[in-house]
Amino acid sequence: MCGIFGIITNQDIEIGKLALEGIKRLEYRGYDSCGIVSQHEGKLHVKKDAGKINAINKKLGLDDLPGKIALAHTRWATHGAPTKINSHPHFDCSEKIAVVHNGIIENFLELKERLISKGHVFKSDTDTEVIPHLIEEYEKRGLNFQEAVFEALRQCEGGYGAAICHADCPDKIIVVRKESPLVIGIEDGKTTYCASDIPAFLPHTRKHYVLGDDELAVLRPGEVDFYDIKTKTLIEKSPKTIDWSVDAAEKGGYDHFMLKEIFEQPQALKRTLSIPLESLRSFAESLITAKTIYITAAGTSFYASLAGKFIISKFLGIHIQEIECSEFQTQLSDCLEKNSVIIALSQSGETIDTIEAIRWAKESADATILSITNVVGSSITRYSDHTIITRAGPEIGVAATKTYTAQVLTLAMIGLEIARIKNLESSEDIKSYKKALNEVPNIIEKFLNHNIEHIKKIMKGLEKIKFKKIKKLGNKDLGKKLNNKHNFFFLARGISIATAKEGGLKMKEVACRFIEGYSAAHAKHGPISLVRGGFPIIFIAPPDDTYTRLIGNVAEFKARGGKIISLVVESDETISEMSDITIRIPQPADRFHNLFSPITFIPALQLLAYYAALDAHLDPDQPRNLAKTVTVH
Ligand code: F6R
């Protein structure tokens, strides 16, 4: 939800160029308009417009701005259409104060009316614009820049991560935060950065601070001071060092971040496997002693929770109830038991609905919060009793891929730790499950190394081929055929329903196709009426306990003229024999590996979605209407 970037330096550098590079690395957060302002010789210089960053740069030369201070913004519109006038930065009446903002000022209408009555003139429809006018108002009353920011922010309700610069203050940028993420990067004595996310300044420095809620920071070249907004007192903070590599936040020869991140999964999962045992143990112990357990998340993280709760429940012997984070409070308002345990998943750690759900559970029922996130220091970590970081590395593609598999793997590791503590399975079994889990990255690596052309062909040109001939021709060109069909299903049973749903979400998200992931058994109760000759159905069919019944479901859909595409293990015979097309996952057909099939089977569907997007001439890294981190309700 909007990316902000700021830089202040004493070095001789091209400030516009650096600011441009900074917001480009944040474009996954929103891409409907952008702008940059720099401060030079007592004046603010601004360039902004609606559209994507590259197009605006071509038109306006965003990289060509003077000075040693710059603020930049890439927008995902909330208040006000994505137009030039609504794009950030926003200014006060005298155009001396510039603000870039991520979040929502909830009481902006009331503030705006008050300011208008005092003679302020607003140009945009945004909530953000009240901030510079409020600061201007307090300056008129004799406060200096920093004091005016303190007072202005005290009037604002809602969430903000904002950076502010002033034409008359060449020595500082002021940044503030409440709920919306903000990190500060430091090159000692030289340059200070602020951004919505670390990758924005990762090429320059790994040393950073996380700004907390209700905190204000004054950035000077290579220095920063922190204050509590409520008390205006100085706060001591220690810097942290991020171990992400710069390459991790670059495309590195891939056409898109999404493809790169799909291919990074084996390495990412190897890192996830090295999560320290103590972290897993604290989660496992909290779950073993719990009476009531919920798991909550949004989007892809929610589907990871569907797969993961299945694995944990198996070893724990307690049902875990999944509830989408946005429904959490509504559904449990009268019945959340005291001391419940809540597992919350969020790759960004900033999804506002997830954070609200756990905050409410903590406050109203003293729940124990166990969170799993990919981002060190993210908001979710502050509201949690225990946190595990998934170690997937930065994920820039808007569609979550490697963070999904890392989340399911983390939950599986917790499940195995529970099994070990409870001595539930015979130790030989636990060993076999562990061995199977450790093999997951290699299975995915083998699949990706040998199937990319196969999947690519699946998503290309099948429309030219009559469906009947497909089996003979191999899997060539299925994709175009799929693209030609408006609807199809991903169907599965048991744990694989999570895979079907996540596959469907990826298709909706990046290929803008309404592909539904559904229970194969439940599909008989209505959705089967969509099936007619040639209707494609992708069955996710690992040979687990549900396999025999899934054969029946495949037969039901085949009998009605459905074209069957199946995801099966290498040694599969029955469902593959019934299928027009198969995608084979190179994993053994035993119960130990089957339990982790949500991790090993999903890369095939991620790739299908990726190539479906390319075939539809869509940019998989920047899906329509989406932003990676949803910090509004
Ligand atoms: C899907 C996707 C979104 C996120 C959802 C939750 O590819 O990226 O559906 O999964 O917005 O985000 P996090 O996990 O950051 O809480």
CA–CA distance, 77 with 417 (Å, rounded to integer): 44
Instruction: Please tell me which residue in 24, 260, 501, 628 is annotated as part of the active site.
Output: 628
Q: Is 169 considered catalytic here?
A: no
CA–CA distance, 136 with 139 (Å, rounded to integer): 5
Say if residue 89's pLDDT is above 60. yes
Pick from 34, 19, 21: which is nearest to 69 by CA? 19
What tokens does 472 get?
């003979």
Q: Where are the beta strands (DSSP E) in 25-157?
A: 33-40, 43-50, 69-75, 90-91, 97-105
Q: Is 2 considered catalytic here?
A: yes
Instruction: Please tell me which residue in 2, 156, 169, 325 is annotated as part of the active site.
Output: 2
Once rounded to an integer, what is the mean pLDDT over residues 425-445?
93
Kindly write down the DSSP assignment for every residue of 236-302, as one continuous string.
----EE----TGGGS-TT-S-HHHHHHHTHHHHHHHHTTS-HHHHHHHHHHHHT-SSEEEEE-HHHH
Of 379, 406, 422, the one marking the end of a domain is 422
Q: How is the beta sheet containing 191-195 ordered, strand by strand? A: 43-50, 33-40, 69-75, 3-9, 191-195, 183-187, 207-210, 240-241
Confidence at residue 465, expressed as pLDDT on a 0 to 100 scale: 33
CATH classification at residue 410: 3.40.50.10490
- The answer to whether residue 439 is domain-embedded is no
Residues 407 and 549 in one domain: no
Q: Which of these ranges, 91-95, 193-197, 251-255, 276-280, has the smallest mean pLDDT?
A: 251-255
What tokens does 404 get?
């999904």
Domain count, the chain: 3
Q: Which of these ranges, 79-93, 175-189, 294-308, 618-632, has the smallest mean pLDDT?
A: 618-632
Testing ligand 1's pocket by substitution, the residue of 296, 326, 347, 610 carrying the most ligand atoms inside 8 A of its CB is: 347
Once rounded to an integer, what is the mean pLDDT over residues 525-545?
89
Residues 266 and 243 in one domain: no
Residues 154 and 277 in one domain: no
Q: Output the ligand 1 site: residues, CB below 6 A.
A: 298-301, 346-348, 351, 354, 399-400, 505, 509, 629-630
CA distances from 134 to 147, 156, 157, 169 (A): 12, 9, 13, 17
pLDDT above 90 coverage of the chain, percent: 76
Query: ∠ at Cα 620 (564, 481), nearest 5°?
Result: 30
Once rounded to an integer, what is the mean pLDDT over residues 292-315?
97
What sign does the dihedral 446-451-453-459 (CA atoms) show?
negative
Say if residue 596's pLDDT is above 50. yes
Per-residue pLDDT of 501-521, as tens digits, reads: 999 999 999 988 888 899 999
Once rounded to an integer, what is the mean pLDDT over residues 224-242?
94
Question: Distance, CA 11 to ligand 1 centroid (Å)?
Answer: 38
Query: ∠ at Cα 552 (547, 558), nearest 5°?
Result: 120
pTM of the model: 0.82
Say if residue 470's pLDDT is above 70. no
Pick from 297, 291, 315: which is nearest to 413 by CA? 315
- The answer to whether residue 72 is domain-embedded is yes
Confidence at residue 484, expressed as pLDDT on a 0 to 100 scale: 52
CA–CA distance, 403 with 394 (Å, rounded to integer): 9
Query: How many other β-carbons are positioned within 10 Å of the β-carbon of residue 473?
Result: 14
CATH classification at residue 41: 3.60.20.10
What tokens does 19 get?
């600011």
- The answer to whether residue 108 is domain-embedded is yes
Once rounded to an integer, what is the mean pLDDT over residues 407-413?
98
Per-residue pLDDT of 452-465, as tens digits, reads: 777 777 666 433 33
Question: Distance, CA 262 to ligand 1 centroid (Å)?
Answer: 16
Residues 264 and 236 in one domain: no
Q: How confident is the model at residue 239 (pLDDT cuts 50, 70, 90)?
A: very high
Residues 234 and 310 in one domain: no
Comparison of pLDDT for 600 and 467, the residue scoring more: 600
- Ligand 1: atom nearest CA of 300 is 10
Q: Where are the beta strands (DSSP E) in 418-507?
A: 489-492
Say if residue 409's pLDDT is above 60. yes
Testing ligand 1's pocket by substitution, the residue of 326, 328, 351, 625 carrying the most ligand atoms inside 8 A of its CB is: 351
Query: How many other β-carbons are positioned within 10 Å of the β-carbon of residue 5?
Result: 28
Residues 212 and 326 in one domain: no
Domain that holds residue 527: 452-615
Q: Atom 3 of ligand 1 has which residue's CA nearest to it?
A: 299
Residues 334 and 482 in one domain: no
Say if residue 482's pLDDT is above 70. no
- The answer to whether residue 327 is domain-embedded is yes
Of 369, 401, 422, the one marking the end of a domain is 422
Q: Which of these ranges, 30-34, 98-102, 550-554, has the smallest mean pLDDT?
A: 30-34
Mean pLDDT of the chain: 91
Confidence at residue 148, expressed as pLDDT on a 0 to 100 scale: 97
Of 422, 439, 464, the one marking the end of a domain is 422
Question: Distance, CA 63 to ligand 1 centroid (Å)?
Answer: 31
Say if residue 626's pLDDT is above 80. no
Residues 298 and 364 in one domain: yes
Residues 191 and 305 in one domain: no
Q: What single-letter DSSP state applies at residue 214?
A: T
Helix (H) / strand (E) containing 373: strand 368-373
Q: How confident is the model at residue 295 (pLDDT cuts 50, 70, 90)?
A: very high
- The answer to whether residue 160 is domain-embedded is yes
Burial class (CB in 10 A: 0-12, 13-18, 19+), 203: middle
Q: Atom 5 of ligand 1 has which residue's CA nearest to it?
A: 299
Residues 399 and 486 in one domain: no
- The answer to whether residue 438 is domain-embedded is no
Question: Distance, CA 166 to ligand 1 centroid (Å)?
Answer: 35
pLDDT above 70 coverage of the chain, percent: 94
Long-range contacts from 289-292, C-beta under 8 angstroms, 24+ separation: 290/318, 290/339, 290/340, 290/341, 290/368, 291/337, 291/339, 291/340, 292/321, 292/337, 292/340, 292/341
Confidence at residue 486, expressed as pLDDT on a 0 to 100 scale: 60
Residues 77 and 138 in one domain: yes
- The answer to whether residue 215 is domain-embedded is yes
Per-residue pLDDT of 157-188, as tens digits, reads: 988 999 999 999 999 999 999 988 899 999 99
> Reduced to 3 DSSP states, what percent helix, strand and coil does the chain have, rounded to the nearest 5?
40, 20, 35
Question: Distance, CA 8 to ligand 1 centroid (Å)?
Answer: 32
Testing ligand 1's pocket by substitution, the residue of 197, 606, 630 carrying the most ligand atoms inside 8 A of its CB is: 630
Confidence at residue 463, expressed as pLDDT on a 0 to 100 scale: 37
Residue type, position 236, single letter: E
- The answer to whether residue 629 is domain-embedded is no
Q: Atom 13 of ligand 1 has which residue's CA nearest to it?
A: 346
Cross-strand partners of 207: 241
Say if residue 534's pLDDT is above 90. no
Q: How confident is the model at residue 121 (pLDDT cuts 50, 70, 90)?
A: very high
Q: What single-letter DSSP state applies at residue 462?
A: G
Q: How is the beta sheet containing 97-105 ordered, strand by strand? A: 90-91, 97-105, 158-166, 173-178, 215-220, 223-228, 234-235
Residues 472 and 585 in one domain: yes
Q: Are 352 and 159 in contact (CB under 8 A)?
A: yes
Residues in Cβ contact with 515 at an 8 Å cutoff, skipping those fewer than 6 apart = 487, 488, 489, 490, 503, 504, 507, 508
Per-residue pLDDT of 564-589, as tens digits, reads: 999 999 999 999 999 999 999 999 99
Q: Are 388 and 375 in contact (CB under 8 A)?
A: no
Q: What single-letter DSSP state applies at residue 468?
A: G
CA end-to-end distance (rounded Å), the chain: 11
